[in-house]
Structure 1
């Protein structure tokens, strides 16, 4: 069967049309029977190829280099080298799998090494992640710490946004990577900030449980941005905030109504920093000093201490937007 379908795209599509719906239905049945505190692990060889990864809280790719994969298929499965290479060629590329992977485990070498990595992953990430989702709580973050820019932040943000889009459904008008991790080269806290755009706060409340089930529980009490002097109408500053439940990937989800001042500024601010090197450098110095000021500084105190700088920077960012005819993405 493998020899027939992995060298023939049409035959493989026919086989997939027969098998995949049945596999999905059976997997759903098994997942529904799992205890409330279970960690359900689904081993899906074609997860990436079928675009299924946004439906899962976390994607772990166990990879091996091509020579190792060919050798194992020939030795363990009795395949010819030609058939083994045809199977590999029909699958997602390494780059495509890395784009979908929240965790990458290299299985090319000693099995004991990947087993140790999987054991640590289970105990330190998956088990507490499940508890956080079930209990609707944010992952603990400790004190603010500035780290060097991570070039994988945009890919991480895209995975997060794909999950949020799926959970929000039609109520989500768009999702954007905002905040300092969206500014290339900027050293900042390792927290992915995204903004989910909705038509109303009623829509935000209606999807709160769905976002929580997807791994982004609501943060009670954070329902308003700080009004600016140029638009102090309190009706314009409402919001909802969700956080990431994954203990190894901190996430802030700002849910704002399209067209409101805070919604617009959340998109403008990183655009201004990306276009204005001096402003980005100034912001980097501000957050570095605040993070180093006191080892016991809380996240809330750190955020509040940035407000005076934002008050001074806001007019400059707005002036830049007028000069450059900047407008929010549509």
Structure 2
């Protein structure tokens, strides 16, 4: 099952996106609908709201008067927190029940307004943010809901900021324009990313090999890596000693293949094996076979590791799971930090990578490229160790 979190600010039009995904076959779980269900007349949720906010929040027929509740609950942060404490656990329990009913090959889209505010992004395989310019959102709220303009702006201001949403967005859908534009984006997203992502996840299918393509440094790589690391940390739980962005995409200015290298450090390789299922379910598929960090290691155990591929076709990831008992976890961090502190080495490494990528452009895999650049990397380890002694560097 692929879990997709869908959110966006009020008036951004995420219901349009949700409806289109449902037309494609997604299982839609609407948090707002569930939030209404758990406070219908006769429910414990409604009784608790009345006890907290007074009978004035009830309509004449005994149902919840949402405008009256909003007037009280949105008056200050404390009141809003009390409202959330009553409603959110009930919504969570019902949501879990609906997700458990979904088929094994389902693409479940959870339409949830407070995904960002609740810090829930790492629990989804992919997060979709629907956005629109603030003036567009205000106009929609005024025209479609009859909301006074200042009330609309107050509601927008009370929600997560654009920067907070961008930090967790795997996919950003701008819905400022016409409906047809965003629907076309959703159609492409479904066909090109969501459907193959679900298949990769269910079948535990690694991405196919390809020749090395080295591209200029991308300033968004660290942010993308942090989103993936949040999922790794959640899946690994207390087994994780640390989780880091490593490799070329972690070095500003360094040209690299557009593949994020991540490192999960655990106490032992037995711990790596114990957490493999959770990592695979989180979208980082365990690779079969024997993996080790040095081509001359020969499987001596010192350089052994476990390796996972990211299942998302739109964001390639290599996850190296290493034991703190071996040397490789430290070397990965040392090599990264040494390069960050030495621009001349970054320039030299960039030249090596570009030359070798060109030489191996027709290989159909990165094996020859990786093997040939190992000599430069090994020499770099020596210089990095000297730098560490000189600077007092520690992981």
- Unpaired stretches in structure 1, ≥5 consecutive residues: none
Q: TM-score, normalised by structure 1?
A: 0.95
Task: Establish whether residue 291 from structure 1 lines up as the match of residue 341 from structure 2.
Answer: no
Matching residue within 170, 182, 191 for 1:123: 191
Q: What is the CA–CA distance in structure 2 between the aligned matches of 1:219 and 1:304, rounded to whole Å?
A: 19
1:305 is aligned to 372
Cα distance change on mapping 1:191 and 1:127 into 2, 3 Å: same
2:36 is aligned to none
Q: What is the CA–CA distance in structure 2 between the aligned matches of 1:97 and 1:61, rounded to whole Å?
A: 7
Q: Deviations over 1:204-263 (max 9, x none)?
A: 00000100000001111243221779xx99332121111100001010111111252111
Superposition RMSD in Å: 1.6
Alignment of 1:98-177 (within 5 A): 98-140=166-208, 142-177=210-245
Task: Establish whether residue 241 from structure 1 lines up as the match of residue 307 from structure 2.
Answer: yes
Q: TM-score, normalised by structure 2?
A: 0.80
Alignment of 1:36-115 (within 5 A): 36-115=104-183
1:269 is aligned to 335
Q: What is the CA–CA distance in structure 1 between the aligned matches of 2:146 and 2:366, rounded to whole Å?
A: 56
Q: Deviations over 1:46-68 (max 9, x none)?
A: 10000000000000100011111
Q: What is the CA–CA distance in structure 1 between the aligned matches of 2:360 and 2:254, rounded to whole Å?
A: 22
Q: SS of the counterpart of 1:126? A: helix
**Could you say which structure has the larger radius of gyration?**
2
2:381 is aligned to 314
Q: What is the CA–CA distance in structure 2 between the aligned matches of 1:259 and 1:317, rounded to whole Å?
A: 20
Q: What is the CA–CA distance in structure 1 between the aligned matches of 2:184 and 2:139, rounded to whole Å?
A: 23
Q: Deviations over 1:251-297 (max 9, x none)?
A: 01111112521111000001011011111111111111111113322
Cα distance change on mapping 1:300 and 1:3 into 2, 3 Å: farther
Structure number with higher strand proportion = 2
CA contact (8 A) 1:140 1:247 kept: no
Q: Deviations over 1:124-158 (max 9, x none)?
A: 00000011011112233522111121111111011
- Unpaired stretches in structure 2, ≥5 consecutive residues: 1-66
Q: What is the CA–CA distance in structure 2 between the aligned matches of 1:26 and 1:44, rounded to whole Å?
A: 13
